[in-house]
Amino acid sequence: MKLDVNVLRYLSKDDFRCLTAVEMGMRNHEIVPAELIERIASLRHGGTYKVLRNLLKHKLLHHDSSKYDGFRLTYLGYDFLAIKALVNRGVFSSVGRQIGVGKESDIFEVANEDGTVMAMKLHRLGRTSFRAVKSKRDYLKHRRSFSWLYLSRLAALKEFAFMKALEEHGFPVPHAVDCNRHCVIMSLVQGYPLVQVQQLQNTDTVFEKIIGIIVRLAEHGLIHCDFNEFNIMIDDDEKITVIDFPQMVSVSHRNAEMYFDRDVECIIKFFSKRFNLTFESNAEDSESDEESDSVKPRFSSIKKASGVLDKELSASGFSKKEQDDIEKFTENISGTDDEDTEEGEDLEEDGDNSTINASDIQKFDTLCLLTKDDEQLNTSGDVEEVQEDREGKQVDTNDQAEDDESEEDENPELLDRLARQRKRAIQAARAGRKTNSSRNAYKDKGGKSSHNSKIQKQMSSW
């Protein structure tokens, strides 16, 4: 959606009051009813529906009547709220051209009253190019439901905090000016993305600087996780500036080493292809070689500095104590799960109780032996003889199977009794287990339950 700031000239206080009311209502509503907007806005002279109609015309709100009649904010309306708040603070007074588009953000030029040009980054999570936020970011944490506007706000706050802390520790990052909602104001970097550069005067020096930044970040407890030629700015004097920080993680993260090696490999691969920079072939094999370590640093050889930024900024990752607790917990769960799976690994959980496996018959035979021994206990009362019989039965299982088959063939009543016991044994073995019915069970081509399935459900409820 194109950002047209000229609409801001024609918006009144009542318009912004209704936009703020919709924002407040979206804290616990996916779609905010018009009655709630009118109650929160509490306009003096009324006319809430007229204001909502004006906001719909400028595409600042979206009307949705799928579940119930209501409204929700669009990214353009959220942009206007953030821009209005920053203008009232005096951070900037004008918005210029768009200078960058990313998979999760848009970047514009802004200027204050003194004429200083800055960069405004608007986070826009939820685009078709980047919707795997739940698997690639930890913004949600323990939350189940979310909105893209709220996730964009969290991403902006996280990036602003990282930029502030890295600037204080002397890292080459833009100067963080201010932040509001999903909008971050930073200094404009005078340079070009490294991906657009075709030649360098000092290729080796630039490469060492970039690798040194990755190592310094790891020494301070952080990993960039997206350190590539698109997020590195370089000027005419070959000065390096790093951008884009929402995805940074801690060195104590479970995948920290993989992320660190990936950042290093991205830089090495780019310099080898673009600038034909050659590296030693035995850089990975020679562990004691200092030159190879300087070319490709190793995560295990990095020493942390005194100031650890991942704890100060609550970077995503797991501390050693939390990781040990999780491993102990998973070991206890896996131990109990292994016992359950060993007992019922041969049972088919396909929802069909009429099928009988070989393991079911073996378990049934053992149950039959126990029942016969109990009968002998009740009749004779001699426990020692029954124990001797059990030991003899366990040794000569093949002979007993043949004798049982001959007895079953001669006595039909015994066959019926054994069949009933067999069903009871299978039901006891499968008690407490959830049967995984097939996807197409009780469903026809239209996706609705058929008439026979409805009758079966009614009979099961009776």
Q: What is the pLDDT of residue 1?
A: 63
The answer to whether residues 324 and 374 belong to one domain is no
Q: Which of 92-106, 170-184, 339-353 has the lowest mean pLDDT?
A: 339-353
Enter the DSSP assignment of 435.
P
Q: Which of 208-212, 314-318, 371-375, 444-448 has the highest average model confidence (pLDDT)? A: 208-212
Q: What is the pLDDT of residue 200?
A: 92
CATH code for position 15: 1.10.10.10
CA proximity to 257, closest of 217, 303, 299: 299
* Pair of tokens at residue 462: 């009776």
Q: Average model confidence (pLDDT) for the chain?
A: 75
414 vs 204: which has the higher pLDDT: 204
**Residues 253, 223: contact at Cβ < 8 Å?**
yes
Q: Is residue 350 part of a domain?
A: no
The answer to whether residues 54 and 111 belong to one domain is no
The answer to whether residues 294 and 370 belong to one domain is no
**pLDDT bracket for residue 132 (50, 70, 90):** low
Q: In sequence order, which ranges of 275-319 are alpha helices (DSSP H)? A: 290-295, 309-312
From the list 64, 226, 261, 293, the catalytic residue is 226
CA distances (Å), origin 228, targets 103, 107, 319: 15, 19, 27
**Residues 126, 151: contact at Cβ < 8 Å?**
yes
pLDDT above 60: residue 79: yes
The predicted model gives 144-161 an average pLDDT of 84
Note if the pTM is more than 0.75.
no
Q: What is the pLDDT of residue 327?
A: 45
Look at the chain and report how many structural domains it folds into: 4
CATH code for position 132: 3.30.200.20
Residue 311, Cβ neighbours under 10 Å: how many? 13
Active site residue 226: yes
The predicted model gives 81-91 an average pLDDT of 95
Domain boundary among 170, 188, 206: 188
Q: What is the pLDDT of residue 26?
A: 92
Domain boundary among 154, 188, 222: 188
**pLDDT bracket for residue 356 (50, 70, 90):** very low
pLDDT tens across 20-65, in order? 999 999 988 989 999 999 999 998 877 899 999 999 999 999 999 8
**pLDDT bracket for residue 301 (50, 70, 90):** confident
CA atoms of 438 and 116, how far apart (whole Å):
65
The answer to whether residues 113 and 18 belong to one domain is no
Q: What is the pLDDT of residue 457?
A: 56
* Pair of tokens at residue 459: 């009979």
Contact residues for 440 (Cβ-Cβ < 8 A; gap 6+): none
The answer to whether residues 196 and 340 belong to one domain is yes
The answer to whether residues 206 and 313 belong to one domain is yes
CA atoms of 157 and 117, how far apart (whole Å):
22
Q: Is residue 434 part of a domain?
A: no
The kind and range of the H/E element at 343 are helix 320-344
The answer to whether residues 63 and 146 belong to one domain is no
pLDDT above 50: residue 461: yes
pLDDT above 60: residue 361: no
**Burial track 317-349 (b if 16+ CB lie within 10 A, e otherwise):** bbeeeeeeeeeeeeeeeeeeeeeeeeeeeebbe
Q: Is residue 454 part of a domain?
A: no
Q: What is the pLDDT of residue 321?
A: 47
Residue 210: phi, psi to the nearest 5?
A: -65, -45
**pLDDT bracket for residue 397 (50, 70, 90):** very low
364 vs 167: which has the higher pLDDT: 167
Enclosing domain of residue 106 = 91-188
Q: Is residue 439 part of a domain?
A: no
